[in-house]
Amino acid sequence: MYRLSDRNRAIGEMFSSIAPRYDFLNRLLSLGTDRRWRREAVGCIEPKRGGVHLDVATGTADVALEIFRQKGTGAFVAGVDISPGMMRIGRKKGARAGLAGRLAFVQAPGEALPFRDDAFDSASIAFGIRNVVDRERGLREMCRVVKPGGRVVVLEFSQPDSALFGILYRFYFTRVLPRLGGLISRRSAYTYLPGSVQDFHPPAEFAEMLRKAGCDPVTFRPLSRGIVTLYIGVKGRLAA
């Protein structure tokens, strides 16, 4: 049994505290680009239509709703998060979209997913793996619950390779973004964000972590000049 650490609880409480303004700030601070990033991530998920999918750190359900847009209402999505405040908003969005019975929410940490082995066609996590305290365990859990041959898709912030663009990006991310976020929501959350990105693994290192968790092959590619990286892992098939 996995016990929530103090850090797990603190992260869940922080996201609940900013939940009412979370979607608005995502659009504002990314200039709307976050929607395109999520579309690209969901576009990598199989099957192309329908399927049973898991979205970890689902938050306000933006990725879950994008899955339905691309896969159709014949799909089923389970959204998992440790923040009840974020999921409360996600439930309302799902209800407005008429997805009752097709979109379910479960409060649980990424390190202990309450699902059987091989239960899902895919598992995704967007901008949430940084907040999973035990990342290796979280990735193993995502791989565990996906069927052999299914995909594990991770979308996460990264740091641009370009020297000049990197300087501009880091100035915005560490100086401008926390102030803008603090004007509208809880500033400490938007101070936490750049620090957690700076401490995150380089793309090649994280891809290897995903491979060790049970996915092979693993591919990754930068989006928006390296601001974000999209990782796609395929769970190894069982030997015949």
Longest dimension (CA), the chain: 58
More confident residue, 232 or 177: 232
**Contact in structure between 111 and 128 (CB atoms under 8 Å):** no
In a domain, 166, yes or no: no
In a domain, 110, yes or no: yes
Tokens of 235: 């769970």
**What integer pLDDT is reported at residue 66 of this predicted model?**
98
pLDDT for 182 beyond 80? no
**What integer pLDDT is reported at residue 141 of this predicted model?**
98
Question: What CA–CA distances, in Å, run from 27 to 4, 35, 58, 64, 108?
Answer: 31, 8, 17, 17, 26
More confident residue, 212 or 176: 212
Tokens of 229: 């990286």
Reported pTM: 0.92
In a domain, 64, yes or no: yes
pLDDT for 240 beyond 60? no
More confident residue, 175 or 147: 147
In a domain, 187, yes or no: no
- What does the pLDDT look like over 102-147, one tens digit per residue? 999 999 999 999 999 999 999 999 999 999 999 999 999 999 999 9
Range of the domain at 100: 6-19+30-160+200-235
pLDDT for 238 beyond 60? no
In a domain, 188, yes or no: no
In a domain, 195, yes or no: no
CA angle (201 as vertex; 125, 176 as ends), nearest 5: 80
In a domain, 1, yes or no: no
- Dist. CA 206–CA 113, nearest whole Å: 21
Burial class (CB in 10 A: 0-12, 13-18, 19+), 37: buried
More confident residue, 144 or 29: 144
- Dist. CA 178–CA 38, nearest whole Å: 22
Q: What percent of the chain has pLDDT over 70?
A: 96
- What does the pLDDT look like over 43-83, one tens digit per residue? 999 999 999 999 999 999 999 999 999 999 999 999 999 99
CATH classification at residue 75: 3.40.50.150
In a domain, 76, yes or no: yes
**What integer pLDDT is reported at residue 135 of this predicted model?**
96
**What integer pLDDT is reported at residue 195 of this predicted model?**
83
The Cβ-side half-sphere exposure at 133, using a 13 Å CA radius, reads 16
- Dist. CA 225–CA 211, nearest whole Å: 24
Handedness of CA 53, 59, 61, 62 (dihedral sign): negative
Spatial neighbors of 58 by CB under 8 A, at least 6 apart, are 64, 79, 80, 81, 86, 87, 90, 105
User: Residue 147 belongs to what H/E stretch?
Assistant: strand 146-157
How many domains in the chain?
1
